[in-house]
Amino acid sequence: MGKLKLAVLISGRGSNLQALIDACAAPDYPAEIALVISNVAGVEGIERATNAGLPVLVIDHKKYPSRAEFDLEMTQAIEAAGVELICLAGFMRLLSEEFIDHWHNRMINIHPSLLPAFKGLDVQARAIAAGARFSGCTVHYVRFDMDTGPIITQAAVPIHTGDDADTLAARILVQEHIIYPQAVRWIAEGRVMIENQQAIVDGADAPTAAVINPLP
């Protein structure tokens, strides 16, 4: 069986793209990146992809009269590359319902909060302002409503006294780079099943210990 072919969609620095590039470099990793698409020219993520020898397309959304036409251009490029799974990695465009439906259960995203809490933007600052004791990150299948869809995996990150949005985001990013490649591996291995809008990972157990913050 061949490796699962990925398209990674980016808009910026591409740090999660880099995590996937690094994972795919391992001979036993069951996925490979067939295409990287950026909707913004000149971003660091393009340089990361080029340095890794990956096919890169810049599809500027500003050149299309509608979201649907922009999304259709992406779909045509993604299908031409033989892609089986789309990974959104800091892709800062809302996708059309037609695009999301076309790639139903074949598109995942990573979001820097413990969904369903703190959807959208500025999530670390909002978590701190709310007095939350934990934040984190979530890998989930994409649905039309923003930051929804079956959750594959999450990493919880404690919020420290004195944290600001930047320090918290930096600690969360470390965990993003761990759980995104892991989620892709599980999908490539055929271990993720969706039942009643929940993602079930075959053979993966929940931790038994609770984490308390602040410590007693």
pLDDT of residue 12: 97
**Which residue is it, tokens 């820097």?**
112
Of residues 111, 140, 160, 177, which has the active-site annotation?
Answer: 111
pLDDT tens for 83-92 read: 999 999 999 9
pLDDT of residue 11: 98
pLDDT of residue 74: 98
pLDDT of residue 89: 98
Domains and CATH numbers, the chain: 1-103 (3.40.50.170), 110-210 (3.40.50.170)
pLDDT of residue 66: 93
pLDDT of residue 53: 98
Report, as ranges of residue numbers, the positions in the chain whose pLDDT lies below 50: none
Is 111 part of the annotated catalytic residue set?
Answer: yes
pTM score, whole prediction: 0.96
pLDDT of residue 167: 98
